[in-house]
């Protein structure tokens, strides 16, 4: 039967090994997350992609809406209420309509290019999230198995410790039964 001190030392060593395994597992998880984040950061944008992003950012902002509203009001004001007859685009503002149509015709595809690229980035992020979730699920399954093994081993160790304690108590009992006078109040 193993000694109680040896059992406790073996248990402490086992806990240290489990602690090391947990630290390594956490480090592996961080490595995957860092690799996926690096993939997202490494994307280099072409000149057209940068321009499309800037146009989409500005074209979808309140700054654009307000400034364009002021431009249209000033255009109409100059051409509808020109006092000196210097209106270059009289009512029904055909030139303004042409400018608006051209702006819409050019702005829409550029914004769509930016949205398509953003959609591709979102798909890539979704794949990365899926990979991380899958790895986390596998890690959780592995941890469940490790915990089950740890509980089984812990129970086995506790039973060994309990058996050692029972053996010690039996030895004490046997000693008391053979020498009842050995344990009197004066010898304590």
Per-residue three-class SS string for 19-54: HHHHHHHHHHHHHHHHHHHHHHHCCCCCHHHHHHHH
Cα separation, 156 vs 142, in Å, equals 21
Task: Give the residue with greater pLDDT, 14 vs 72.
Answer: 72
The pTM for the full model equals: 0.52
Cα separation, 174 vs 166, in Å, equals 12
93: left (phi over 0), alpha (psi -120 to 50) or beta: left
Asked, for residue 157, whether it belongs to a domain, the answer is: yes
Taking residues 79-105, report their average pLDDT: 83
Asked, for residue 186, whether it belongs to a domain, the answer is: no
Could you tell me the residue range of the domain that residue 26 belongs to?
7-172
Asked, for residue 126, whether it belongs to a domain, the answer is: yes
In the chain, % of residues over pLDDT 70: 80
Statement: residue 30 has pLDDT above 70: no
Task: Give the residue with greater pLDDT, 188 vs 31.
Answer: 31
Nearest 10 degrees: CA dihedral of 32, 36, 38, 41? Answer: -160
Statement: residue 180 has pLDDT above 70: no
Asked, for residue 135, whether it belongs to a domain, the answer is: yes
CB 79 within 8 A of CB 93: yes
Asked, for residue 30, whether it belongs to a domain, the answer is: yes
Cα separation, 113 vs 182, in Å, equals 95
Domain count across the chain = 1
Taking residues 107-131, report their average pLDDT: 88
Asked, for residue 110, whether it belongs to a domain, the answer is: yes
Cα separation, 47 vs 139, in Å, equals 42
Q: Residue 53: what pLDDT?
A: 86
Asked, for residue 96, whether it belongs to a domain, the answer is: yes
Asked, for residue 184, whether it belongs to a domain, the answer is: no
The end-to-end CA distance of the chain, in Å, is 29
Comparing C-alpha atoms, which of 112, 156, 124 is closest to residue 43? 124
Q: Residue 100: what pLDDT?
A: 92
């Amino acid at each position: 039967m193993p000694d109680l001190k040896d059992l406790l030392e073996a248990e402490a060593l086992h806990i240290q090994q489990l602690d090391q395994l947990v630290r390594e597992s956490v480090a592996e998880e961080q490595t995957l997350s860092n690799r996926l984040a690096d993939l997202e950061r490494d994307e280099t944008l072409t000149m057209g992609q940068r321009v499309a992003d800037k146009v989409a950012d500005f074209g979808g902002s309140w700054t654009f809406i307000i400034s364009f509203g002021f431009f249209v009001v000033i255009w109409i004001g100059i051409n509808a209420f020109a006092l000196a007859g210097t209106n270059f685009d009289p009512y029904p503002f055909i030139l303004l309509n042409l400018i608006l149509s051209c702006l819409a015709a050019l702005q829409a595809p550029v914004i769509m290019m930016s949205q398509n690229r953003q959609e591709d980035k979102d798909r890539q992020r979704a794949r990365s999230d899926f990979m991380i979730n899958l790895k986390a699920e596998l890690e959780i399954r592995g941890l469940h198995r490790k915990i089950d093994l740890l509980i089984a081993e812990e129970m086995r160790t506790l039973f060994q410790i309990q058996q050692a304690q029972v053996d010690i108590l039996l030895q004490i009992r046997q000693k008391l039964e053979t020498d009842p006078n050995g344990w009197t109040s004066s010898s304590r």
